[in-house]
Structure 1
Amino acid sequence: MKFAKEKYSKLKDTFKEKREKIKEMSALNKIFYIGIIAVAAVLIGGLIHQSLAYQNFEIISSIEKTDNVTVNYQVMGDGLLRYSKDGVSYSENLSETVWNQSFEMASARAVTCGNYLAIGDIGSNQIRIFDQTGQVGSIVTSYPILDLDVASQGVVSVIMTENGANYISLYSSNGEELVDIRTSISDMGYPLDFALSEDGEKLAVSYLNVAEGTTSTNIVFYNFGTAGANEVDHIMGTFDYDGIFPKIEFLDNSTIAAYGEENFVLYSMHYYPELISETNFGREIKSLFVSDKYIGFVFRNNTETSEEESPAKYHMAVYTTAGRLYMEQDFDFEYETITSTNQEIILYNDSECVIYTYSGKEKFSYTFNEPVINLLPKNTADEYILITSSAIQEIRLR
């Protein structure tokens, strides 16, 4: 009898454990299925949004445009930058200026990364560094500035040139010099473009060389962190190409794109630089647009180098940052400016705009009532800063 009671008690405990496991599995299954439904809802929502076509827009806010000098506009974070040779201002909504700073620059160039802004006087020696609270540092360079860039934590890189020599310097956000390198134009070439990584440690430079009437490009990769501490001049690797590569940029902290006249090359640089892919188009690139996910090119159709006739004026080709062709499309719109986000491609001229999704669908087409100066995408979907000859407006598609 005692043995039977013990056996019954063990069976009872076993059944209880199994019931608890079944309950746990049921709860996990519920979580699993809820997760699947949530992911599906996001994907379906994204597809629906991608398929939407808008006919008009609403004005969220508007102010009169009173600028009587040449002013440049740029989105930084959730706000709008306005800068000229006389100064810079930042506003998080159009009616209220968060900060402004006056200066005098003959040729102001602004670069942003994250919440940092650097403005340099090209051909002179002055650089100002800002974040969303205002000016945080300033730099007076030893040589005339050729170009500058800024990283996400405010590190500023500068290329300078004088008397046949190039100088590369890195500065902290408060203006302290961190690195200084001198190179010879006769040895390295003339710097066409350069790019700084998000972490402020890696630098890629496109150097132009001309010898006996032929041009070539030397792309040089530097690392100013611990990885490059023991390398000569912090150089991690070089790649040589025939022709000109006038633009180079970091797509993320370790992926670099270099653009030639008829081709583009992708590299990875976790330590030493490595080639990812090289794409040759066989015809001249007319325009380039880049987002965090995609690289896009526009070509003219029906030129001497076109492989076949097309009824459309232009051909668009979009690639992933791994170098894979993602989308191709012909179009006729006569644009003056092309830009992009991770969701869309924006083309506009002084009176019209067209917005495409990356599936090639026309999302929005519009003819404005007055001359358009800028159409800048905000960080919120379907919202833009529209700058015309008389007003600056926040708009939302509808």
Structure 2
Amino acid sequence: MSNAREYFRKKKKVRKNRLFKTIRAGGKKYAGKRNRTTPTKAGHGQAAYIKADRIKAERVKASPIKTDGKRAVRRRRGKRLGTAAVLCVLTIAIAAAAAGLAGHTYEAYEVQSNQVLNGSKEMEYLEFNGGILQYDSQGVTYINKENQREWNYSFQMQEPFSDTCGSMAAIGDIRGNRILLFDPSGKRGEIHTQLPIRRYRVSDRGLAAVILAKGEDSRLEIYDGLVGDLLSGHDIPEDSMGYPADLDISPEGTKLIVSYMQLTMGPEEAVSASHIAFYRLQKVGSETVSQLVSSKIIQEDIFPQVVFLDSSHAAALGSGGMLLFEGNEIPELLEQIDLPEEERAEAYFSNDHYVGMTVAGQKEEAPLLKIYSANGELQFTKKLEEGYDRIKLYKEQVLVYRSASLRIYEFDGRLRYSGNMPLPILEILPGSKKYEYVVIDSASIRQIRLH
């Protein structure tokens, strides 16, 4: 009996030792069967807690990978939202700055270049190919975009008159017999007429339409100015057509517009009228003929000035209003703009897209500036309280100057610049960049930039 009791006592002790070793070794035998945070047996919970804490630590250590990923995503989203917010603020700031600049009126300028003039007081200036033609009765000089003298040509004329179209310029002697043609590189051609020159115009291709004096009547001739050849010509009987007051040739040199003034005696007084005629220039065999294709007679009004705005739009300008024509082959009247009887047009000016007038009333009021598109739509009106000497159109800007005072308006009515130059302005031309201009006075040619 004692042997049996001793046997079981030893066996129990062996089991206890094995359990202790197992727990000390990490509880591999029972780890999968017990709660890892619960002691395996009283007295031996420390080792079990060590194992459980280690496992928990591993879990805690692994868990932040997921949490950090979410935080990283949130951080990236936050950064993107922050960047978008910054860009939005910058966009608004830029737009506000642009709006501020758009409505800003400049009052100062900086001089970018200055060229001292030593020419005669009778010098004339003409915008040409981004530069300036400077001429008088003794010659012409071309000043390029960089305000540098590029070439000059000497001649003798009694009454020089200039005209430009695109890259072609002409200087002719009114009442004389000579017309010189130039392009940006220098002289290109010369025309000699048999009769005195009354009026002429040149096309971009070098064709010249010339009205000549022939006793009591007139003659219309067409020249190839680059070679000096007479292409066509016909007499103008003034008793039937009237007196040719003005003419123009289309840029491509295929159409003419001529304004004839007619005067007939009525029962009590003379009655005036205008005859606006369009001619088409075309080749017939080896000759060039000018064929009348359309005409319009306006009673009791005179249109002493005509102009081609572009290849398909033309205008006839008079004291009582203006006529706008449209057509590539056969121009027809598009719009007739009549002024009230108490108003009259003082001056006209135009560019390739717009034509403007200044209107004066009977009262001592400031003249009214009106600008129309080639289709007759009113684009801009402005009371010129300060008066004016000359007005020029440049794209969608209006340049108004009087003595040394200069004002520049946008077509939307904004005053872009208001200020004074050192000397009275003889001519002002657009520069090569926005808000840059060439201002000419009696002493210098200056390139300025508004700021």
Q: Could you list the runs of 5+ residues in structure 1 that have no partner in the other structure?
A: 1-42, 305-309
Inter-CA distance 231–281: structure 2 relative to 1 (3 Å threshold): farther
Question: Among residues 386, 390, 395, which one is paired with 2:439 in the alignment?
Answer: 386
Partner of 1:367: 420
Partner of 1:239: 296
Partner of 2:36: none
Once residues 296 and 426 of structure 2 are traced to their aligned partners in structure 1, the CA distance between those partners, rounded to angstroms, is 39
Question: What are the equivalent positions in structure 2 for 1:219-298 lying under 5 Å apart?
Answer: 219-225=276-282, 234-242=291-299, 243-282=301-340, 283-298=343-358
Once residues 91 and 45 of structure 1 are traced to their aligned partners in structure 2, the CA distance between those partners, rounded to angstroms, is 36
Q: Could you list the runs of 5+ residues in structure 2 that have no partner in the other structure?
A: 1-94
Inter-CA distance 244–128: structure 2 relative to 1 (3 Å threshold): same
Partner of 2:221: 169
Superposed CA offset, 1:306-354 (max 9, x none): xxxx9x6122222111011222222301211111111200111112111
SS in 2 for 1:286: strand
Show structure 1 runs of 4+ deviating over 4 A: 43-50, 229-233
Superposed CA offset, 1:115-159 (max 9, x none): 111111001101111111111111110111011111111111111
The percent identity for this pair of structures is 27
Kindly state the Cα deviation for residue 253 of structure 1 after the two structures are TM-superposed.
0.3
Partner of 1:53: 105
- Say if 1:62 and 1:94, in contact at 8 Å, map to a contact too: no
Which shows bigger deviation, 283-292 or 132-141? 283-292
2:324 partner letter: L
- Say if 2:115 and 2:147, in contact at 8 Å, map to a contact too: yes
- Say if 1:315 and 1:331, in contact at 8 Å, map to a contact too: yes
Larger radius of gyration between Structure 1 and Structure 2 = 2
Once residues 350 and 85 of structure 1 are traced to their aligned partners in structure 2, the CA distance between those partners, rounded to angstroms, is 25
Inter-CA distance 259–385: structure 2 relative to 1 (3 Å threshold): same
Kindly state the Cα deviation for residue 232 of structure 1 after the two structures are TM-superposed.
8.7
Question: What are the equivalent positions in structure 2 for 1:298-313 lying under 5 Å apart?
Answer: 298-301=358-361, 303=362, 313=366
Question: What are the equivalent positions in structure 2 for 1:90-239 lying under 5 Å apart?
Answer: 90-93=142-145, 96-172=148-224, 173-212=226-265, 213-225=270-282, 234-239=291-296
Inter-CA distance 141–383: structure 2 relative to 1 (3 Å threshold): same
- Say if 1:77 and 1:379, in contact at 8 Å, map to a contact too: no
SS in 1 for 2:403: coil
TM-score (norm 1): 0.82
- Say if 1:50 and 1:357, in contact at 8 Å, map to a contact too: no
Inter-CA distance 287–121: structure 2 relative to 1 (3 Å threshold): same
SS in 1 for 2:376: coil
Superposed CA offset, 1:195-242 (max 9, x none): 110111100000011111121111111001259x99995100111012
Inter-CA distance 154–49: structure 2 relative to 1 (3 Å threshold): farther
Question: Among residues 46, 66, 73, which one is paired with 2:125 in the alignment?
Answer: 73
Question: Among residues 370, 373, 381, which one is paired with 1:317 in the alignment?
Answer: 370
- Say if 1:125 and 1:145, in contact at 8 Å, map to a contact too: yes
Which shows bigger deviation, 329-338 or 291-300? 291-300
Q: Which has the higher contact order (CA 8 A, sep 6+)?
A: 1
Question: Among residues 338, 361, 374, which one is paired with 2:391 in the alignment?
Answer: 338
SS in 2 for 1:186: coil
Kindly state the Cα deviation for residue 52 of structure 1 after the two structures are TM-superposed.
3.6
- Say if 2:147 and 2:447, in contact at 8 Å, map to a contact too: no
Once residues 329 and 241 of structure 1 are traced to their aligned partners in structure 2, the CA distance between those partners, rounded to angstroms, is 29
Which shows bigger deviation, 212-221 or 230-239? 230-239
Superposed CA offset, 1:352-396 (max 9, x none): 111111011111011223232222223532121111222111111
SS in 2 for 1:188: coil
- Say if 2:250 and 2:311, in contact at 8 Å, map to a contact too: yes
2:450 partner letter: L
Once residues 352 and 103 of structure 2 are traced to their aligned partners in structure 1, the CA distance between those partners, rounded to angstroms, is 21
Inter-CA distance 164–49: structure 2 relative to 1 (3 Å threshold): farther
Inter-CA distance 63–177: structure 2 relative to 1 (3 Å threshold): same
Inter-CA distance 370–230: structure 2 relative to 1 (3 Å threshold): closer
SS in 2 for 1:225: strand
Once residues 343 and 134 of structure 1 are traced to their aligned partners in structure 2, the CA distance between those partners, rounded to angstroms, is 30
1:194 partner letter: L
Once residues 105 and 373 of structure 1 are traced to their aligned partners in structure 2, the CA distance between those partners, rounded to angstroms, is 22
Kindly state the Cα deviation for residue 70 of structure 1 after the two structures are TM-superposed.
0.8
SS in 1 for 2:433: coil
1:394 partner letter: Q
Partner of 1:27: none
Once residues 204 and 193 of structure 1 are traced to their aligned partners in structure 2, the CA distance between those partners, rounded to angstroms, is 8
- Say if 2:281 and 2:288, in contact at 8 Å, map to a contact too: no
Once residues 158 and 99 of structure 2 are traced to their aligned partners in structure 1, the CA distance between those partners, rounded to angstroms, is 47
Once residues 383 and 111 of structure 1 are traced to their aligned partners in structure 2, the CA distance between those partners, rounded to angstroms, is 24
2:282 partner letter: G
Partner of 1:31: none
